[in-house]
Structure 1
C-alpha cells in the first residue's frame, strides 16, 4: 500500500478459541487465500491491501497482526536474540511511541511481564543500532503495538494492525448483563448455515446482538470502517490516500437499509428497548423486527415461522433459572411448534442439560463444539427437527 508492487506478507488473526475454522473461512471469502488454523488464531499470506480489507470487513476476528517473526525459543535470551535480529524502521517513525503486550502459555521460568520487557528492550536496541534514535515507550496509548506470544517453545512476534479488538462493535450502546460478543454471534450465524433472505429468529435476543449481526451481514456492512481507532491508520507502511479510496469503495458496496426477515424476541421490555437503541446506532433502524414476547409461547408472537433459530438462552440462578432443564425443554418445544422444520443453533454453558432438553422436546442434535468465553467454556449446539 506504499507503492505499485504488491508484496505478499505473512499475517495472523486472533479469534475465539473453538471458532478458528469460522475465521479461516472468512479469510477465504474476503481475500481468496487459504488460512491455517492454530490455537485462537489463523495464519495466512496476503498483501497490505488484504490486511486493510480484513480490518474493514471481517466479522469473526478480533485483531489482525503482521507476522514479524516465528521461531523456537524457550528462554529470554533466545527471545531477545530473535527480536533483535529484526528490523523495525519501516514500522515505527522516529517520533512514534510503542508498547509490547505479551502472552505466555506453558511452564517457563519467567513471567509475561519479563517477556514483554525483554522484547521491548530488543526493539529499542535494534532501532537505535539502525537509526541512532531511542524509541519512546508508552504503555497507555502507544502509536504502535507489538504482540509477543510464547506457547511452550513456539515464539511469535506480531505487529498489531487493528488496535482495539474488532469485537467492540460501533453500535453497542446498550449491553445485556449476559450479552454475547458480536464475533461469536456472527460465527454462530455462519455455523447455523443461515443465509441472507432466510427467515431468522432469536427468541432470547437481549440487546439484539445476533439479529443485528445478521442484518450487518445481509446488507454487506463493513463494521471495521466505523471503528474509531484502527491502528493501521497510524502505521507508516499504509498509504492514507489508498486507505481512504478503499474505504470509499467499500461504503459504496453496502446495501441500503431495508426491512429484513429477521426477528428478535425477548420477555424483557427493557432488553427490547436496548435492542432498538443498538439497531438505530448501527444505522439499521427498521431492518430488524424486535418484539416483547414469551419464548415459551412463540406461536403467539410470530406471524410466520423462521427457517433458522440462533440464540443464547439465559442460564443459571443469576438469570433467574432455578430449573434450567425444564425451562429449556419448554422453550425448545415452543420453538418446534412455532417453527416446524427449522434448524436450531444454541449457545450453552451446560451442554448435557441442553442436549437432554433438546432430545426431550423432539429435536435431533446434529453437532456440538466447545469454545472459550474468556476462561469459561461454552458450547455451540446444532439441532434439527
Structure 2
C-alpha cells in the first residue's frame, strides 16, 4: 500500500518517525520518498484498511493531508500525458469508491514544467472516473467541486503521475479547531508539535513558552505530552487572554499555568526549574527592528539561563536565525541543531540550543 502525505516543508523526517511510531512498525516495513518539499510518498509493506488510514489521519500531529494511492505511472511534458493519466485512472478501480449518490471532485496539482495545466489534468482524470462509474453502474456520478463527498487527488510531479483517494478530507489536518483567538503571527499547530518533538520532551518535565502568543505551543504540549508543569507567558494581556480562550476550546486550560509577564525577565515570574523552553518570538522583518530584536534575544537568553535545569534546552523558531545564533553564542549557549522550515511563504529556522 502507498500513501501520499503532505506536511510542513522541512519536517518530512519528523513525519516519517511519527508514522513508524503510530503504526508500530519496524523501520524496514516503511519506505519513504520525498517527492518535493513537504510531500512524501510512503510505501507500507503491511496491509492496512481504509479505516486504519482514517485512524492514522486522526492520530497524526504532523500530517496535513493523507491520500491512498490508487494508480501511478510515468508521464512526460507533452499533452500525450493527459491520455496516459486518463488510462491509468480508468484502470485504477476509482469507481469502487463511488455510487449514484456520492458526489466527487478531482483536486489536481502539477509540479514541474509541462505543456498542460492542472485544470487539463483534472478534466481528463475526472472524465475517466465518470466513464468508469458509468461502465460499472450505468449512471453518471454527480460532480460537486465545492463540497464533494469523495475527493480524488491527481498529482504530477516531474515525470510521475499519481491518482489517490483523499482520506483526510478537504481541510488540512493542521486546522485543529481550537483556535478561537487568532494571533496575528500564529504558528501552525503542526510546526508547534514538530518543535516539541525537537525539544525531546520527557514525561514529568517542565515546559515554558515565554512568548506564547495564542498559546499554540503549550496547547499542543498539553494535548500530547505528560508534563509536570506547562507555563504560558506573554507580555500582552490581549494575547494571553486569547491563549486562555484557545486553551478552553482545546480542553487543556486546567493543564496550563498562564502568566502575564516579560520574557526578558522570565526568572522573575517562573520559580520552577524549567527543562525545556519552546517559543515563537517576534520576527524582525525590517532592519529598524533588528536593534530591538538583538536586545530582546540577549535579555531573554540571559534570563533563561537562570531558570533552566541542568538538562535544560531551548527550541526557538525565527526568521532572524543569524542574529539569534550570534546572541546565543555570546550568552554562552551551544547550538545543538538547526532546521529550515517554511512558515507560510517565509523560510525560517528552528534552532535548538543549551547552556554550555
TM-score scaled by length of structure 1: 0.83
Match of 2:280 among 291, 312, 321: 312
Q: Which residue of 1 aligns with 2:320?
A: 350
Separation (CA, whole Å) in 1 of partners of 2:247 and 2:201: 20
Range 76-85 or range 57-66, more displaced? 76-85
**Long gaps (5+) in structure 2:** none
Q: 2:32 aligns with which of 36, 40, 48?
A: 36
Q: Residues 147-186 of structure 1 correspond to what in structure 2 (within 5 A)?
A: 147-163=153-169, 164-186=171-193
Matching residue of 2:259: 291
Quote the Cα distance in structure 1 between the aligned partners of 2:135 and 2:90.
10
CA distance in 2, matches of 1:178, 1:24: 27
Q: Secondary structure of 1:216's match?
A: helix
Residue number in structure 2 paired with 1:267: 235
- Number of aligned residues: 338
CA distance in 2, matches of 1:37, 1:152: 14
Kindly indicate whether the alpha-carbon contact (under 8 Å) linking 2:265 and 2:299 is maintained by their aligned counterparts in 1.
no
Instruction: Give the TM-score of the pair, scaled to structure 2.
Output: 0.90
Name the counterpart of 1:22.
14
Q: Equivalent of 1:65, from 57, 67, 76? A: 67
What is the alpha-carbon distance in structure 1 between the residues aligned to residue 200 and residue 349 of structure 2?
Answer: 17
Bigger relative contact order (CA 8 A; separation at least 6): 1
Answer yes or no: is the 8 Å Cα contact 1:24–1:35 preserved in 2: no
Q: Secondary structure at the match of 1:136?
A: coil
Cα distance in 2 between the residues matched to 1:162 and 1:217 = 20
1:13 matched to which residue of 2? 5
| Equivalent position of 1:222 in the other structure | none
After superposition, residues 332-347 of structure 1 pair within 5 angstroms as 332-341=301-310, 342-347=312-317
| Counterpart residue number, 1:91 | 97
1:134 pairs with one of 134, 140, 162: 140
Structure 1 pair 118–373 and aligned structure 2 pair: CA distance change class (3 A):
farther
After superposition, the C-alpha distances for 1:30-62 in whole angstroms (9 at most, x for unaligned) are 112335141323414251242122122111111
Are the aligned partners of 1:28 and 1:35 in contact in 2 as well (CA < 8 Å)?
A: no
Q: List gaps (5 residues or longer) in structure 1.
A: 1-8, 220-258
Where does residue 207 of structure 1 map in the other structure?
Answer: 214
Separation in 1, partners of 2:202, 2:5: 24
- Report the CA distance shift for 1:302/1:180 in structure 2 as closer, same or farther (over 3 A): same
Does the aligned pair in 2 maintain the 1:347–1:379 contact within 8 Å?
Answer: yes
Q: 1:97 to 1:19 in 2, by over 3 A?
A: same
Question: Is the contact made by 1:210 and 1:310 (CA closer than 8 Å) also made in structure 2?
Answer: yes
What is the aligned partner in structure 1 of residue 48 from structure 2? Answer: 47
Larger relative strand fraction: 2
